[in-house]
Amino acid sequence: MRILSGKYRGRNFFMPKGIRPTQDLVRKALFDLLGQDLTGLTFLDLFAGSGAMGLEAASRGAKEVILVEKEPLCFRTICENIARLNIPALEPDRPFFETLQADGLATIKDFARRGRKLDIVFADPPYGRDLAKKTLITLKGHDIVHPDSIVVIQHTKHETLPETEGRFFINEQRKYGTSYLTFYKIQ
């Protein structure tokens, strides 16, 4: 697979076997809706899989990209994919990558305990486990966002997310094949 746009456009990355990759169409749509320029923003990629969304965010200027993945094979692949970017240490505006081999929901709780705030939270949990709604509920109960943050959850049509959850409300929802991108803003 390849990075679609930004300063690392066209660079290849690996996809671990056994995961459901986010289609190029969905990756492109996400960043079309977020905006192509993420300069200076922090981007959290929960249930990161290959790290594709985080790599795209870095390519579009995110200053900090946090990739959280529990599965060991996927976590190793993320680390290899970051290394494959081969970003020189002295490159101006070099993105800072943080990789965590951890549970996504536990990471939200840990970040809240430490008072960490993020600009964009993207979650693409495994389908069929009701993790999309659990992620939203965990975000509601553990404050890691600020009033201008955006939360995006990728989920299947079988997992209906609420219009509002605490101070989160659906700002936009788009369907791509069997996947949905649901964008939440904060009231």
Domains in the chain, please, with CATH? 24-186 (3.40.50.150)
Angle at 103 between CA 74 and CA 125, to 5 degrees: 70
* Per-residue pLDDT reduced to its tens digit, 56-101: 999 999 999 999 999 999 999 999 999 998 887 777 778 899 999 9
Do residues 113 and 141 touch, judged by C-beta distance below 8 A? no
pTM value is 0.93
Do residues 36 and 5 touch, judged by C-beta distance below 8 A? yes
**H/E stretch holding 107:** helix 104-113
Q: What is the mean pLDDT of the chain?
A: 92
